Structure 1
Amino acid sequence: MNTARVIEKEGFAALALRLRGEGINNLDLLTAVEQTPRTLFVPPQFSGDAYSSRLLPIDCGSFVEGVDLAVRLLHLLNLKSGQRVLEVGTGSGFTAAVMGRLTERVLTVDRYKTLVAGAQQNIEKTGVRNVIVRQADGSNGLVGEGTFDRILVTAAFPAMPRQFVDQLVSGGMLLAPVMVSDETCRMVKLVKTGSRFDREDLFEVPYLPIVPHQARAL
């Protein structure tokens, strides 16, 4: 068995144990994660850390969140077949690929052309075909693409980004990081019921502040 396969097998087994310890034992989600080799989504020199909870650097000054956090967010989204998902902040493409296995269609956007191209290649290697990767300014969501059942944002806003709310169906959910102080960023969950919204502040996350506009150079 080659080194990558060993890392995948042992890494996933350890991850599954840690997640069960947190009460995350959704079989569909765990299967989707297992079928999406994490080593494809981290730089080769960090493949040994693919299943760790460390932040790993990628191009354009960005990073891949630890795998535990990525799966915890996917668990919170409660993804189902038939759903349409918008992700703002593609990064390496890992979460988009896993979401693609669980839902009907995923549209993921990033401001960096380099990250979009890399994520596209990574996702293609996994055989997932229902994820569209696009370079776009996601700071206002994605107007003109209709509504979504789930929106996942991985760049922090100074306040809850209400501009996304119109792009959610009734019963839809938004997960977005919000800066609660100069140093602290917290994941916030918003569920839309008719014209009402239920907000729940969750846990601290390491995301960077959102930067509007597409990046021209990178």
Structure 2
Amino acid sequence: MIEKEGFAALVLRLRAEGVTDLDLLTAFEQTPRTQFVPPQFASDAYSSRTIPIDCGSFMEGADLAAKILSKLQVRPGHRVLEIGTGSGFTAAVIGRIAERVLSLERYRTLVTAAQIRMDALGLRNIIIRQMDGSSGLHGEGTFDRILVTAAFSAMPRFYADQLVSGGSMVAPLILEDERCMMVRLTKTGSRFEREDLFPVPYLPLASHIAQHL
């Protein structure tokens, strides 16, 4: 019941925000958020509230997750790289649209839990690895889309060679005035065109694998 009512209320809020991508909304509907949040927060699964998860990480509210994914513009056939698996929810939604998702996470606890959820949902095209994703992923070819869920303090130009021509990445960027802005960077030639999307509350990007969590 939470699932159906929560999703219906979310769709109404998203329409008011101009998010109407049918593929995305269908993927959202097919990915039960209550299975990704800690049990005590099940009633907030479809709210706009940020939800704490293990290892000091958090899930963005359902509205923000949908807004970010709508700006990522994933299409069938795409290869997508995600930096910061967290609960695995965004990877699961992307995986219902894209051909292949590679998701990197620092914390072993989160990797293990997210993998269990993917297996339970039968999502075989999503690969989760425990890795330091602060400089992306080399040696896996190029991606059509890259999503980063922790904030950069400077334009991450080194990602340009990990994107196909015309590909784009969506990532939080800390601006000069300390505000954090979600930006879309589209690769044209060897450079990025930057488009500022909306302000977001995000943690700075941390490098290295966390050894004990």
Compute the TM-score of the two structures, normalised by the length of structure 2: 0.97
1:116 is aligned, of 111, 119, 132, to 111
Corresponding residue of 1:200: 195
User: What are the ranges of 5 or more consecutive residues in structure 1 without an aligned counterpart?
Assistant: 1-5
Read off the aligned partner of 1:111 and give its amino acid letter: R
SS at match of 1:140: coil
2:152 is aligned, of 134, 154, 157, to 157
User: Which string of whole-angstrom CA distances, capped at 9 and with x for unpartnered residues, describes residues 43-100 of structure 1?
Assistant: 0000000001111000000000001111111111111111000000000000000000
1:146 is aligned, of 137, 141, 144, to 141
Pair 1:150–1:8, CA change in 2 (3 A): same
Q: CA deviation at 1:179?
A: 1.1
User: Which string of whole-angstrom CA distances, capped at 9 and with x for unpartnered residues, describes residues 154-175 of structure 1?
Assistant: 0111111112111000010011
CA-based RMSD of the aligned residues comes to: 1.0
* Segment drifting more, 151-160 vs 122-131: 122-131
What percent of counterpart residues are identical? Answer: 68
Corresponding residue of 1:3: none
Corresponding residue of 2:26: 31
Pair 1:182–1:119, CA change in 2 (3 A): farther
Matches within 5 A, 1:1-218: 6-181=1-176, 183-218=178-213
User: Which string of whole-angstrom CA distances, capped at 9 and with x for unpartnered residues, describes residues 99-126 of structure 1?
Assistant: 0000100000011111111111122222
Read off the aligned partner of 1:47 and give its amino acid letter: A
Compute the TM-score of the two structures, normalised by the length of structure 1: 0.95
User: Which string of whole-angstrom CA distances, capped at 9 and with x for unpartnered residues, describes residues 127-154 of structure 1?
Assistant: 2110000000000000111100000000
Pair 1:182–1:91, CA change in 2 (3 A): farther
User: What are the ranges of 5 or more consecutive residues in structure 2 without an aligned counterpart?
Assistant: none
Pairs aligned (count) = 213
Contact 1:53 1:66 in 2 (8 A): yes
